[in-house]
A = this chain, B = another copy of it.
């Protein structure tokens, strides 16, 4: 529970690991004495920048659903704990996206102020910093990303006007205890997008599809040594299948396979022609091709799977267990031919870690705030 005082045992466990993994930080005992006293006096304690930095990396390393963990050491940690106002937070989020970059994308996390036991805290309602709005049409269909329809409705309730097009970047909803809810439009310089085309199908570009370069989850809570950071958006680069096999393909997202199949002239009269599978592969080729052509970093599911196997080997050598969730690690396309398919993993909760709180999930679905 992010609202309760820090558990001294969790703090100690984290600090011991952190200092063992970073000998240059010196002995942990003196630091433990300070932290114990801080917790006893205030119910919490303040991480040093080194602790925060390594703690965030450990949280990534522990993310059991993440296939991209090989480069966990390279995470750039931006210490934003002093930001208070919505304006400050907003401009630091814009800076985050610019730091992550629009081409050679780097993994970045911005860590804002920790939760104080029993006090309200700042948050971003959006599930990711960049997502496309979704609109219900009169005939019951949808324009844009159906997953964002309810959130878009909520944003419109705050006065935002969408263009009602397929790829309208949603504004940020930033809520602070002092200022309530504020709506901020992201500037163009913070939003790199890639127009999608196909290496062979000329007609594909005419579909007018695009996707943003940076996946940045905005609403997960980062927990380090018993301290909770409710606002700690992070990004990596995309694995192509997240866009090509989920965002653009899922029946309850952009649902593009029937359109692809029609344009490709496939026989959709029965499933056994594998028209869905053929359309799916071509959609994914288009995504990878377009990012590659535009010089925007992206990995394919084969390469990222191989990297994850390397990561498992590295961690084993380091004597660390790797929590992993098979159903999230195995890619949604061609699972069986990736090396991550052919083994089991241990699933367990190991901190530091990222958690999606029920309330954050509800806000990202546009649900009105529960009264407390």
A binding-site residues for B, Cβ under 8 Å: 240-241, 245-246, 249-250, 257, 271-274, 276-278, 280-281, 284-285, 288-289, 292, 300, 302-303, 326-327, 330-337, 341-342, 344
Using known A-B contacts A335-B335, A336-B246, determine if residue A285 contacts B300 with beta carbons closer than 8 Å: no
5 A-B pairs with the lowest CB-CB distances in the bound complex, closest first:
A332-B336, A271-B302, A272-B300, A272-B288, A277-B334
Take A271-B302, A285-B274 as given contacts and tell me if A335 and B337 are in contact as well, using a CB distance cutoff of 8 Å.
Answer: no
Given contacts A249-B337, A330-B335, contact A281 B277 (CB under 8 A): yes
Name the contact of A285 in the complex, choosing from B246, B257, B273, B341 (C-beta under 8 A).
Answer: B273
Report which residue of A250, A281, A288, A334 has the largest number of chain B beta carbons within 10 angstroms of its beta carbon.
A334
B250 touches A276 (CB 8 A): no
| Complex interface: chain B residues within 8 A of A278 (CB) | 281, 285
Q: How many copies of this chain does one complex carry? A: 2
Q: In the assembled complex, how far is the CB of residue A347 from the closest CB belonging to chain B, in whole angstroms?
A: 11
Contacts of A331 in B (CB 8 A): 335-336
Shortest Cβ gap from A338 to chain B (Å): 9
Cα(A342)–Cα(B336), bound, Å = 17
Chain B residues with CB under 8 Å of A300's CB are 271-272, 274
Query: Which of B272, B330, B337 is A280 in contact with, Cβ under 8 Å?
Result: B337
Give the distance in Å from the alpha carbon of A335 to the alpha carbon of B257 in the complex. Answer: 14
Contacts of A271 in B (CB 8 A): 300, 302-303
Contact between chains at B333 and A334 (CB < 8 Å): yes
What is the CA–CA distance of A327 and B338 in the complex, to the nearest angstrom?
Answer: 14
Min distance, Cβ A90 to any Cβ of chain B, angstroms: 34
Name A339's closest neighbour in chain B (CB-CB).
B251
The interface residues of chain B lying within 8 Å CB-to-CB of A344 are 327
Q: Is the CB of A337 within 8 A of B288?
A: no
State in angstroms the CA–CA spacing of A249 and B334 once bound together.
11
Instruction: Give, as a whole number of angstroms, the nearest-CB distance from A233 to chain B.
Output: 25
Among residues of B, the one whose C-beta sits closest to the C-beta of A345 is B327
Most B C-beta atoms less than 10 A away, residue of A271, A273, A292, A336: A336
Give the shortest distance, in Å, between A141 (CB) and chain B (any CB).
20
> Would B303 and A272 count as touching, CB distance under 8 A?
yes
9 A-B pairs with CB atoms under 8 Å apart are A241-B336, A245-B336, A272-B300, A276-B302, A277-B334, A326-B326, A330-B335, A332-B341, A335-B335
Of all chain B residues, the one with the shortest Cβ separation from A281 is B277
Q: A272-B289, A332-B335 are in contact. List 9 more A-B contacts (CB 8 A).
A: A240-B272, A245-B336, A245-B337, A271-B300, A272-B288, A277-B281, A278-B281, A330-B335, A332-B336
Chain B residues whose CB sits within 8 angstroms of the CB of A284 once the complex forms? 274, 277
Which B residues touch A342, using CB under 8 A? Answer: 250
Q: How far is the CA of A277 from the CA of B241 in the complex (A)?
A: 12
**How distant is the Cα of A277 from the Cα of B302 in the complex, in angstroms?**
10
A2 to B272, CA, bound (A): 42
Report the bound CA distance from A318 to B92 in whole Å.
55
Bound complex: CA A337 to CA B278 (Å): 12
Q: How far is the CB of A296 from chain B (nearest CB, A)?
A: 13
Which of B246, B250, B302, B336 is in CB contact (< 8 Å) with A250? B336
